[in-house]
Amino acid sequence: MSVKPAPAEGFATSVPVVIVGAGAAGLCAALAACEAGTEVIVFERDPLPRGSTALSAGLIPAAGTRFQRVLGISDSADQFAADIRRKGDDEGNAAIAELVARESGSTVEWLADRYGFPFSLVHDFNYPGHSTRRMHGLPSRSGTELVDRLHRAAEQAAITIVCNAPVSGIFCKAEGTVCGVEFTRPDGSRDHVGCEALVLACNGYGGAPDLVAKYIPEMHDAHYFGHPGNRGDAVLWGQALGAKLLNMSSYQGHGSVAHPHAILITWAVIMEGGFQVNALGRRFSNESLGYSEQAALVLAQPEGIAFDIFDERIAAIARQFEDFRQAEAAGAVIAAERIEELAERLKLPQEALTETFKQVESAKDAGVADPFGRSFAGQAHLSLPYKAIRVTGALFHTQGGLAVDVNGRVLNEQGAPLPNLFAAGGAAAGVSGSLASGYLSGNGLLTATVLGRISGISAAAMVKSGEHKLTVRAH
């Protein structure tokens, strides 16, 4: 992943804005720059735009949308920004948190109105840390649908996406201005394209075991459930160009991945009154704090596994997710008519599991916080048939990355912007502070879509202005 001096012979081909990576961030950046009348080219390592975006549930949190209003849900950018800050223990970048909260509603409505994305609100359960219901998803509730729709929109806008073309180097002038990229063709040959602005949308370093070991040692041995092609290229190039790295220990984990089926199980199964036990049949945490921090807690249990315990009513809510339907089809979801049968099928100690059920159900009646600090107030008792899934914890994506300003420009150690380098999505530092517990559900696609769009607008504005000064603020 090299940064090299500009080739003496110049570039045979130049495109004003080059974007590396065709996930949610790169495709939103491309659409926004193209709308602004600037030619863009997107380079993607894979044969098809996919990325971690395709592996996700495709849910984007947004405040003040018409999708919320029709359901009578009142929300605001301030309320959303406060939720992001509270979950991140006030450690994240407050200006970026406010920016993405403020632009989230208009970004979701932009995709809906301009490109016809049929969003709807997840209205039937709460996500941990969100003070109201604001997760917007597509009909299948899958990220594959999100990235496929973005890809189609980009194709219809005649945006050039070059697949099977990993970017392997950046060309840079003496004063640090990026002037082009080197990419590798499927036959191994290398080619160059010049540019006036570069947007890094190639996500984080979850697919680079050495960087995970360096920055997130607690997840070094964990299964990485994100896209393997996200190998930290943005961080390595940024560092070589003098960029500041922020919150490199931060990540999104998940404590509910069906094992050994390797299918994401929505946290709705927990938030709606379900709970997790370990192989001893005992609870071990306040599950309602969040699924991200739960990854390390599950991995610390015997054999690194836990069991989601819920019921058919909750399964009916979870079935809106493509992943959950796949988990049922794959036989990951166990059903039982009695606790004893459930214990037997899961190979859990019967007495302990019965005792845990009793404790949870009396916590629901009492309506006060249990010994782990979880309140089950207002949650229905589990009813027959009971359901359970054997799960483990996993690393989903890294949240640390390149420090950026409100225009998506990458900043140097002194906080000044690099001349013409932008970053969005997992390539940029997130808004979750430094710990897994700082990840508020949806922070990933929030910064991918909103910062992607803003980077595209800003890169186009910079190119049009013909200089590297940028006063534009996205709206």
Ligand X SMILES: Cc1cc2nc3c(=O)[nH]c(=O)nc-3n(C[C@H](O)[C@H](O)[C@H](O)COP(=O)(O)OP(=O)(O)OC[C@H]3O[C@@H](n4cnc5c(N)ncnc54)[C@H](O)[C@@H]3O)c2cc1C
Interacting residues toward ligand X by CB under 6 A: 20-26, 43-46, 50-53, 55-59, 143, 166-167, 201-203, 225-227, 229-230, 233, 252, 264, 396-397, 425-426, 442, 444-446, 448
Residue 391: in which H helix or E strand, if any? strand 386-398
- Nearest distance in Å: CB 420, ligand X: 18
CA distance 364 to 367: 5
Nearer to ligand X, 57 or 346 (CB): 57
CA distance 324 to 143: 14
Helix (H, G, I), strand (E, B) or coil at 343: helix
410 strand-pairing partners = 404
Nearer to ligand X, 60 or 315 (CB): 60
| Number of Cβ within a 10 Å radius of residue 359 | 14
- Nearest distance in Å: CB 463, ligand X: 21
- Nearest distance in Å: CB 353, ligand X: 28
Nearer to ligand X, 44 or 405 (CB): 44
- Nearest distance in Å: CB 314, ligand X: 18
Tokens of 403: 């420090």
CA quadruple 257, 262, 268, 270: dihedral, nearest 10: -40
Question: What is the DSSP code (8-state) at residue 379?
Answer: P
Nearer to ligand X, 25 or 297 (CB): 25
| Number of Cβ within a 10 Å radius of residue 372 | 14
Helix (H, G, I), strand (E, B) or coil at 64: coil
Nearer to ligand X, 231 or 244 (CB): 231
Nearer to ligand X, 281 or 426 (CB): 426
- Nearest distance in Å: CB 457, ligand X: 16
CA distances to 196, 204, 400 from 211, rounded to whole Å, are 30, 10, 11
**CB 306, CB 298: distance < 8 Å:** yes
- Nearest distance in Å: CB 214, ligand X: 18
